[in-house]
Copies of this chain bind each other. A is one copy, B any other.
Amino acid sequence: MLDQYRQQHPYLLALDSIIFGFDGEGLKVLLVRRGVEAETWSLMGGWLQPDESLEQAAARILFELTGLTNVYLEQLYAFGDPHRDPIVRTISVAYFSLVKVADYESKLSETFQARWFSIYDLPPLLFDHGDMVSLAIRRLRYKAAQHPIGFELLPEKFTIPQLKKLYDAIYNTEFDRRNFSRKILSTHLLIKLDEKQKGFSKKGAFYYRVDTEKYRQLNHSFLNFIASPLAP
């Protein structure tokens, strides 16, 4: 009975992470330099270990580079073209994650040469990593359009104008300031703080934070929510 297993070819299984960050201006992706070919950048990646699930492996690899835990992590797609890695056939499961840039700065591992790149100005990437990034951007746009996912990229406290800038960056457009804030606040997912942002504008914008309880509930009920509208 084990025969049906024994006859089969095994394959190397890699994980690659598209790590998004927002620095207040533009949407960025974290890339690492390949030791081998100095001019080529690549996604942070690694190999699946025998005792790990795919998600555990992706989280471990993210931790090794950034030192971050508890970050938003979502499976993107499995890439398995026979020639995607020209040396040895490798299947790669790509994950994308959303990190708060400020948290990362302090914990950056020196083992890797890493840099943030604007998603609109990427260098040539290894293998099919360019496809992975493109797909991740599309998925992020898709998801953020219906899911309150943007907060994951901002610090605990943020202002509505900051949030708008993030959405502007994600969709490479300019949302209407007034409509944006109304729409965001209508979700009742944000809690207004007494504190105002200083230094940036003269009037100063109020800080908000996410109502984590409601946020979690919404993530759970999300699938019921999206199933209701009908639109073929």
Contacts and interface: CB of A to CB of B under 8 A. Distances in A.
Interface in A159-196: 167, 171, 175, 180, 183-184, 187, 189
Q: How many copies does the complex hold?
A: 2
A89 B232 contact: no
A50 B82 contact: yes
Residue among A36, A75, A79, A232 facing the most chain B CB atoms (10 A cut-off): A232
Contact of A223 (B51, B55, B141, B144): B141
Nearest to A176: B230
Contact of A232 (B10, B12, B51, B149): B149
A17 to B, nearest CB: 14
A142 B145 CA distance: 13
Interface of A: 1-2, 5, 8-13, 36, 47-55, 75, 77-82, 87-91, 93, 138, 141-142, 144-151, 167, 171, 175, 180, 183-184, 187, 189, 223, 226-232
